[in-house]
């Protein structure tokens, strides 16, 4: 209708919107597509030059750096700017926050108030933005969306199972996440080790600094033969087809895309009760929620999945229905486009 939104997140997460009719020029237009600019300052300079040449009606920034640059340049050229925030409240042990973290939050709030509007992808993200000092009247919640047609797969489940060397009738879990501590892989591995001979197969999609440590942990726990480390993959649809359940034991999240993808494929979910996940996963209806870092809770949920597979298939079907009713991609994109247009028109 107004914007040819293609859903791509570009290197620095910026889009310059010119006019209600049409053009989106991304940060890839800086002449260095695929290369991430080295600092916020360089991103601001590049964005400023593009804006002076284009005279856009709106600047949209994704994630922290893109959002911060959008707010700064918007103020400099007197144009509205929208930040799309994808962070969330972090579980701070002991209820205390380190000084460095506090300073970052205050800086984040300052940047939030430079932007005209901040789009939060979950109510948890909105609470985080407000806790940093962003004015509540500048925050709008628009959940991320997903369509059952978004992830394409041309592979049959049997073919994918054969490729991954997983028996056709064996239960298989999938965790699709960057290999960093916040994603909670270690808790999942520890829970699987408790299952001993009942341990299901686990497909680990994603790369990151913990690869070596996790591989060593699997060896020490004696579950390495059931783990498939695949690295970064672009065929998530095929991996979802090969799986029976998606697990995400994170300690902090906003609104994770892998869970939206699982629901699009009618797969049941086991996930941590953190961040925006409870806005997506309804405990006992569209998945099972466990407390963060709770190995025993993960073990119980996986044992239940193994014992009552028919019940869990119904949970996956309910999840798909809940996705279509509440997180439909077209509706969510239209909400975002409407906000873009309103923001532009209100400044004219």
- Hey, CA dihedral for 134, 136, 137, 141, is it positive or negative? positive
The answer to whether residue 145 scores a pLDDT higher than 70 is yes
Percent of the chain clearing pLDDT 70 (strictly above): 85
Indicate if the alpha-carbon torsion angle 320, 174, 260, 234 is positive or negative: negative
Q: Where are the domains of the chain?
A: 14-145+328-346, 157-326
Q: What is the mean pLDDT of residues 15-23?
A: 54
Tens of pLDDT, residues 110-127: 999 999 999 999 999 999
- Percent residues over pLDDT 90 in the chain: 66
Q: State the pLDDT at residue 273.
A: 96
**Contact predicate 27/46, CB 8 Å:** yes
95: pLDDT strictly greater than 60: no
- In angstroms, what is the C-alpha Rg of the chain? 21
Q: Once rounded to an integer, what is the mean pLDDT over residues 82-109? A: 68
Q: pLDDT digit string (tens) for 298-333?
A: 999 999 999 999 999 999 999 999 999 999 999 998
C-alpha–C-alpha distance, residues 239 and 219, integer Å: 23
Residue 91 is predicted with a pLDDT of 43
**Which of 25-29, 56-60, 203-207, 275-279 has the weakest average pLDDT?**
25-29
Mean pLDDT of the chain: 86
State the pLDDT at residue 139. 97
Class of domain 157-326: alpha beta
Instruction: Please determine, for residue 89, whether its predicted confidence score (pLDDT) is greater than 70.
Output: no
Same fold, 14-145+328-346 and 157-326: yes
**Which whole number is the average pLDDT over 141-145?**
95
Average of pLDDT values for 259-275?
96
Q: Are strands 117-120 and 81-85 parallel, antiparallel or unpaired?
A: parallel
Band (46; pLDDT cuts 50, 70, 90): confident
- At 54, is the pLDDT very low, low, confident or very high (cuts 50, 70, 90)? confident
Span 66-82, mean pLDDT?
Answer: 92
Helix, strand or coil, per DSSP, at residue 141:
strand
Residue 265, Cβ density class (10 Å: 0-12 exposed, 13-18 middle, ≥19 buried): buried
pLDDT score for 150: 73
Residue 108: pLDDT over 80 = yes
* CATH T-level topology, domain 14-145+328-346: Rossmann fold (3.40.50)
Instruction: Please write the tens of the pLDDT for every residue from 211-245.
Output: 999 999 999 999 999 999 999 999 999 999 999 99
């Amino acid at each position: 209708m107004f914007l040819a939104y293609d859903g791509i997140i570009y290197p620095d997460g910026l889009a310059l919107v010119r006019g209600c009719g049409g053009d989106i020029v991304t940060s890839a237009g800086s002449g260095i597509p695929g290369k991430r600019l080295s600092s916020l300052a360089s991103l601001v300079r590049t964005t400023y030059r593009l804006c002076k040449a284009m005279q856009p009606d709106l600047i949209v920034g994704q994630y922290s750096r893109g959002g911060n640059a959008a707010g700064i340049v918007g103020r400099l050229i007197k144009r509205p700017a929208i930040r799309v925030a994808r962070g969330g409240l972090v579980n701070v042990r002991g209820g205390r926050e380190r000084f460095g973290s506090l300073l970052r939050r205050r800086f984040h709030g300052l940047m939030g108030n430079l932007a005209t509007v901040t789009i939060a992808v979950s109510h948890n993200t909105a609470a985080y933005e407000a806790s940093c000092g962003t004015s509540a009247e500048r925050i709008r919640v628009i959940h991320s969306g997903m369509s059952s047609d978004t992830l394409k797969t041309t592979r049959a489940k049997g073919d994918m199972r054969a490729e991954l060397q997983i028996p056709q009738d064996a239960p298989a879990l999938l965790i699709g996440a960057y290999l960093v501590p916040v994603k909670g892989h270690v808790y999942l591995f520890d829970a699987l080790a408790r299952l001993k001979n009942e341990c299901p197969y686990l497909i680990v999609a994603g790369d990151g600094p913990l690869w070596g440590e996790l591989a060593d942990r699997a060896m020490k726990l004696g579950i390495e033969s059931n783990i498939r480390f695949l690295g970064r993959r672009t065929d998530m649809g095929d991996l979802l087809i090969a799986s029976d359940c998606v697990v995400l034991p994170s300690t902090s999240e906003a609104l994770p895309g892998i869970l939206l993808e699982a629901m699009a494929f009618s797969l049941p979910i086991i996930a941590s009760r953190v961040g925006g996940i409870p806005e997506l996963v309804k405990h006992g209806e569209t998945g099972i929620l466990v407390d963060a870092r709770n190995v025993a809770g993960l073990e119980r949920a996986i044992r239940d999945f193994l014992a009552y597979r028919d019940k869990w298939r119904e949970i996956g079907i309910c999840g798909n229905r809940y996705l279509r009713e509440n997180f439909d991609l077209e509706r969510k994109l239209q909400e975002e486009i409407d906000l873009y247009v309103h923001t532009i028109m209100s400044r004219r």
